[in-house]
Structure 1
Amino acid sequence: MLNIIIEEKDNFYRQGLKTFITEMFSTDHGDALFFTGVLCSHSVKTADIIIKSFLPGESRVCHQIFQSRKHSSLVIGIYDGNKKPHSVDLPLCFDNIVFISRADSLIKVKKFIQRGWEDCCQENTKKIYRSCLACKHRTLSPREINIAEHFYSGMGTEEIARNLQINPKTVGAHKRTIMLKFNLNSDSELLGLLHHLKLKPSISNCFYNYTDSHI
């Protein structure tokens, strides 16, 4: 029995994934499958495969819920566009992860998943220690949090500079640093990530803690 989580808002894409994964594993591996759409602290502990959509930059932030997942489980990250998220220097909870694009062909998707699953099976006997202290998830400095909060509230560079009484070039420099940290390409991607962080309370989510305390 394989336990599979599919966290995906697009109903058609989620159903397509379910059908594709069923055909792939029941035919090629002869496994019985159990699907759930709920990614929580309970389901993640027993999941063999976790399929999750990622916003730009989201794969670089802390996801505490993944810390308790099985050491032999496979994470399949779904992303939009042509820019594949970096697979190096990711948070430790994302060991054994493969990324697939919504635009990838079924042949390519199957190849990526098969390769990732084979790697997981080979590492099944290995004990992987996931320490938050050694994790490489990205965080924001206090000044970056302050500037990001102003961007999130709808302010532009000049307005933020006046509000904080700093040079507009300084605001721009901090913004570029944030974009580089999370591999973002546009203001819309930045705002999307900040919105995600605002809704995800965790110990390491400084942006959530800052905005929550300033409401």
Structure 2
Amino acid sequence: MRNNYITIVIHDPNLFYMRGLTDCLSEDFSRRGIHADFTDCAFNSRAKMIFLAEESLSVANIHYLNRRMSMRPMCIFIIKNGSSETEENDATAPHISHYTPLYRNQSVESMLSVINEQMEQLNNMRNIMIQPCSTMTRSTNNLTRRETEILRYLARGISNGGVARFLQISEKTVSAHKRNIMSKLNMIRPAELNYWLIQEGWCESIRTVDQFH
């Protein structure tokens, strides 16, 4: 992505929201001297930032997004109704829960804060990716059996609360295990773990196993 140009996909059946989001992003990027080119085609290969409405997602969309993320990190946002008060429903949509949610009732300031934070994480992730291969090697050999089990649930996109219910342990315990996992894998941000799970094929292998059950 050139510093002064970005292609953005926004696909939402709510045309009023889509227009508002387009105007907000256009103004925000323009202030930073970046030209934003907008399209509603989810399969645009040049796009580095994608916004898709949850209710309009198809199996093809999800497969394409996961495939794109496995090849190169990018900013993907899922537009949802309502607020973020209850995230327990994440377990019902395991293939998209690792993407960042935006809510239609979210304030403009909050929305732009979330988007800019994800862009910063993306830039940091790219810096990590261009380091020598030896610094990118992350072995799971030193993970405990419980930590590996929790990783498998996280790869399904299940929230910490969902993992806790499945394993009949507290959510705080799951969070502690997750912090230990990230420490052992030399990670700082949850986004790094999400991307690593996709990049290393954990999510793909889980989907393959599910197809035979």
TM-score calculated relative to the size of structure 2: 0.51
Alignment of 1:111-122 (within 5 A): 111-122=113-124
Instruction: Give the distance between the partners of 2:77 and 2:40, measured in 1 at CA.
Output: 14
Q: Residue 122 and residue 78 in structure 1: after superposition, are their counterparts in 2 closer, same or farther (change >3 A)?
A: same
Alignment of 1:134-173 (within 5 A): 134-135=202-203
SS of structure 1 residue aligned to 2:82: coil
Aligned residue for 1:160?
A: none
Q: Residue 137 and residue 25 in structure 1: after superposition, are their counterparts in 2 closer, same or farther (change >3 A)?
A: farther
Instruction: Give the distance between the partners of 1:93 and 1:37, measured in 2 at CA.
Output: 21
Aligned residue for 1:37?
A: 40
Q: Please provide the CA RMSD for this pair.
A: 4.2
Aligned residue for 2:6?
A: 2
Q: Residue 58 and residue 136 in structure 1: after superposition, are their counterparts in 2 closer, same or farther (change >3 A)?
A: farther
| Structure (1/2) with the larger helix percentage | 2
Percent sequence identity over aligned pairs: 16
Instruction: Give the distance between the partners of 1:35 and 1:56, measured in 2 at CA.
Output: 18
Q: Does structure 2 conserve the Cα–Cα contact (< 8 Å) formed by 1:89 and 1:136?
A: no
Aligned residue for 1:13?
A: 17
Alignment of 1:1-215 (within 5 A): 1-27=5-31, 29-40=32-43, 44-55=44-55, 62-69=62-69, 71-83=72-84, 85=87, 97-127=99-129, 130=198, 133-135=201-203
Q: Residue 56 and residue 4 in structure 1: after superposition, are their counterparts in 2 closer, same or farther (change >3 A)?
A: closer
Aligned residue for 1:197?
A: none
TM-score calculated relative to the size of structure 1: 0.50
Instruction: Give the distance between the partners of 2:28 and 2:126, measured in 1 at CA.
Output: 20
* Amino acid across the alignment from 2:63: H
Shift of 1:3: 0.6
SS of structure 2 residue aligned to 1:47: coil
SS of structure 1 residue aligned to 2:50: strand
* Amino acid across the alignment from 1:102: R
Instruction: Give the distance between the partners of 1:57 and 1:98, measured in 2 at CA.
Output: 14
Q: Does structure 1 conserve the Cα–Cα contact (< 8 Å) formed by 2:198 and 2:204?
A: no
Q: Does structure 1 conserve the Cα–Cα contact (< 8 Å) formed by 2:12 and 2:56?
A: no
Structure 1 runs not aligned, ≥5 long: 143-215
Q: Residue 137 and residue 23 in structure 1: after superposition, are their counterparts in 2 closer, same or farther (change >3 A)?
A: farther
Shift of 1:66: 3.6
Shift of 1:89: 8.3
* Amino acid across the alignment from 2:72: H
Instruction: Give the distance between the partners of 1:126 and 1:95, measured in 2 at CA.
Output: 23
Aligned residue for 1:155?
A: none
Instruction: Give the distance between the partners of 1:92 and 1:111, measured in 2 at CA.
Output: 25
Deviation string 1:113-149 (CA, Å, 9 cap, x unpaired) is 111111111112344684595207986x99xxxxxxx
Q: Does structure 2 conserve the Cα–Cα contact (< 8 Å) formed by 1:91 and 1:136?
A: no
SS of structure 1 residue aligned to 2:83: coil
* Amino acid across the alignment from 2:36: L
Shift of 1:65: 4.2
Structure 2 runs not aligned, ≥5 long: 130-195
Q: Residue 31 and residue 90 in structure 1: after superposition, are their counterparts in 2 closer, same or farther (change >3 A)?
A: farther
Q: Residue 35 and residue 86 in structure 1: after superposition, are their counterparts in 2 closer, same or farther (change >3 A)?
A: farther
